[in-house]
Structure 1
Amino acid sequence: MTDMPTFDERLARAKFRAWHRGTREADYMIGGFFDRYSSQWDEQALGWFEDLLAEDDVDVMAWALKTAPVPERFQGEQIVKMQALDYVDIPR
């Protein structure tokens, strides 16, 4: 029987996955979102983000940029925060 990962272990795994998406743009958008909001998350919010991480970056970015409709399962306060894009700090 395998032990279930703790909330902190899941959070650490989500942070790594958020910042290692494969493109710089996705890293800034998804990783920046994680950095800005993850300290406020409960189990449900972390579960939402883990599900989001399973989606293709192109889709997640399109939802955040409002160029594609957000699937019902991702609609709500979290995606609205992501769509604000006020958390993206682009190094110059």
Structure 2
Amino acid sequence: MSIDHDSRLRRLKFRAWHRGFREADLILGPFADTHGPNLTPEQLDTFETLMEESDREIYAWIVGQEPTPAKFDTDVLTLIKTFRYEAHASRPIGDGM
């Protein structure tokens, strides 16, 4: 039984928003909402694999606190890093979030 693209995406969005580590939620959730519909089935596979890792590791890779292991240094993680950078850059100075 295969799961269709929309079902996979709904499940991934839920997982991205409910990581348990607020900083990761606030990057991965909006990323999934914004870019998820445009991900290929292979990229969804990659995103699902990434979601299996710990929140703190994923967050550290995204913000550059830790080097990204080669296995996870993918086009999807690059998209997430770019998304996070662009979202942060567009936030007004003094915004408390």
TM-score when normalising by structure 2? 0.80
Count of equivalent residues: 90
Aligned 8 A contact 1:52 1:60 in 2: yes
Q: Are the aligned partners of 2:24 and 2:59 in contact in 1 as well (CA < 8 Å)?
A: yes
Structure 1: segments with no counterpart, 5+ residues: none
Deviation readout 1:34-77 (Å, 9 max, x if unpaired):
12211211111100100011000000000000111111122132
Hey, what's the Cα distance between the residues in 2 that align with 1:87 and 1:38? 16
- 1:1-92 aligned within 5 A: 3-84=1-82, 85=84, 86-87=86-87, 92=97
Asked if 2 retains the 8 angstrom alpha-carbon contact of 1:19 and 1:27, the reply is: yes
Looking at secondary structure, tell me which structure has more helix per residue.
Answer: 2
Q: CA deviation at 1:33?
A: 1.5
Moved over 4 A (4+): 88-92
Q: Secondary structure at the match of 1:46?
A: helix
- CA change 1:91–1:43 in 2 (3 A) is farther
Bigger relative CO (Cα 8 Å, ≥ 6 apart):
1
CA distance in 2, matches of 1:80, 1:31: 16
Structure 2 residue runs without a partner (length 5+): none
Do the aligned partners of 1:15 and 1:34 also contact (CA within 8 Å) in 2? Answer: yes
- The CA deviation at 1:24 is 2.1
Would the aligned equivalents of 2:9 and 2:37 in 1 still touch at CA under 8 Å?
no
Query: Contact 1:36 / 1:87 at 8 angstroms: preserved in 2?
Result: no
- Percent identity over the alignment is 33
Question: Could you report, residue by residue, the CA deviation over 1:9-43 in whole angstroms, capped at 9, with x for unpaired residues?
Answer: 11110011000111321211111211221121111
Calculate the aligned-residue CA RMSD, in Å. 2.0
